Structure 1
Amino acid sequence: MGMHGDHDLGHTVAGWAGTTIAVTGCTVMAVAFAAGWSTGLWLGGAVVVLAALATWLLHLAGWGKATGPRPVARQHWRVRDTSARRGHPDCLGCRLAARGAATASGVTPVGSPAPAEPTPVGQPS
């Protein structure tokens, strides 16, 4: 247990890599702004966009985490999330990649058995 208690703060490979790339891009933009170099501002902005893309791709590859706390055994930042391939519920990144959208919207994927029809109230099943 650390200084802040037993919290899952989301330390993941995707989070650390994305943050490092974004800080690099912001540093490039700050130096370019101080130097009056407009091309450097665009270059730093492109690096920040690259950070978002890299974080998203690492999340989809299983190096991120789903929303909410993880079990204590899975909180180490180098533990891969095996559920990422199916998509996380309520995850914008997974929805953008069309993962988990079929089950979330109620549509049955092709090749899956059709859900059973509910029995009307008052009739034997």
Structure 2
Amino acid sequence: MSGHQYDEGHTVAGWVGTAVAAAGTAVTGVGMCGWRPGIALGLGVMASAVLVTWVLHLAGWGKPSGPRPVDQWSLRVRDRSARAGHAGCFGCRLAGRRGVPRPASDSSQPVVPAPEAGLPAEVSS
């Protein structure tokens, strides 16, 4: 089992983008039930979810995929590498941030595998 299983998708950008998209879907659904302006309004809200998620990602609230050091697992921690861009990230390339590939392993901040059941284990230095 992977050591970053408790970290995937836990970003402010991901949660906010999902909430805005869900609200847009609900408004579109109301439009389908009879309130015709709701269709266009809901589609506009869903399109804004993409923009909101992208802006938050560029601001450092969306983290790159893959394993990260344990101290960056929290939802409250901004991504330190966002300003330079993430390697292979389409959103960063659209913003003109190319990013450099991360090293395969960073010995200063080890990625510690989490236990099978429960919360991630603490890192002892």
Identical-pair percentage: 55
Q: Deviation per CA, 1:6-36: give whole Å up to 9, x if none.
A: 51212111111111111100011111111x2
User: Structure 2 length as normaliser, TM-score?
Assistant: 0.72
Contact 1:67/1:91 (CA < 8 Å) preserved in 2?
A: no
Q: Please give the root-mean-square deviation of Cα atoms over the aligned residues, in Å.
A: 2.0
What's 1:69 paired with? 67
Structure 1 or 2: more helix by fraction? 1
**Any stretches of 5+ residues in structure 2 without a counterpart?**
102-125
Where relative contact order (Cα < 8 A, 6+ residues apart) is larger, the structure is 2
Distance 1:67 1:6 in 2: 10
Structure 1 alignment gaps of length 5 or more: 105-125
Q: TM-score, normalised by structure 1?
A: 0.72
After TM superposition, the structure 1 = structure 2 runs for residues 2-13 of structure 1, keeping only pairs within 5 Å, are 7=5, 8-13=7-12
| Runs of 4+ with >3 A deviation | none
How many equivalent pairs are there?
99
Q: Deviations over 1:16-66 (max 9, x none)?
A: 1111111100011111111x2221101000001111100000000000011
The 5-angstrom pairing of residues 87-102 of structure 1 reads 87-100=85-98
Q: Looking at CA atoms only, which structure, 1 or 2, has the larger radius of gyration?
A: 1
2:8–2:65 Cα contact (<8 Å) kept? no
